[in-house]
Amino acid sequence: MQYMNKFIIIIGIMLSSLAYGLAEDSKKPIEIEADSVMVDESSGFNEFKGGAEVRQGSLLMTAELIQVQTNSEGVETMLAKGTIEKPAKYIQSQENQPRFIEATANLITYDVNKGMIFLDGNANLIQGFDSFSGDKLNYDIENDKVTVLGSADGNKRVKFKIAL
């Protein structure tokens, strides 16, 4: 029981640190589904495998594998690994956007301290009515800034669609 209580606290800290979404999201219940869960309290490493889904309010993160690194102050990073056929996905309502932010990629890394989401491999981001795609994409949540890169070999170019 003590293990489960610590696990719930870790996940609560993890999701409450995603403060850039709707303010009320952090007050919503946390729901996690996966085929397996591994929590290492000594290192702060947590892993959710097999169709992993993390939900809290408007936040939804899905991937075949979600890894979370925590420290004594909360979450440091969240890593979601998908595939070309079934990419990792991050969706959340943002107060400064008329629609949900939706990001997909083979690999999504959320650096909590920097307030940055890094998409790597088949990166796509829908922000409001605009969309961005490329091989790599960096999204600065707090400053509402997007940087997109094409592939190094030139096969995947950057695409940007603006809805006026």
CA 164 from centre of chain:
28
Model's pTM, two decimal places? 0.80
Q: Tens digits of per-residue pLDDT, 65-101?
A: 999 888 888 778 889 999 989 999 999 887 766 778 8
Question: Of 149, 141, 83, 86, which Cα lies nearest the Cα of 117?
Answer: 141
pLDDT in tens, 20-46: 455 566 667 667 899 999 999 899 899
| In the chain, where the domains are located | 2-161
Closest by CA to 157, choosing from 128, 131, 136, is: 136
Closest CA to 41 of 86, 73, 20, 72: 72
Tokens, residue 160: 């940007």
Q: Which CATH number fits domain 2-161: 2.60.450.10, 3.40.50.2300, 3.40.1620.10, 3.40.50.620?
A: 2.60.450.10
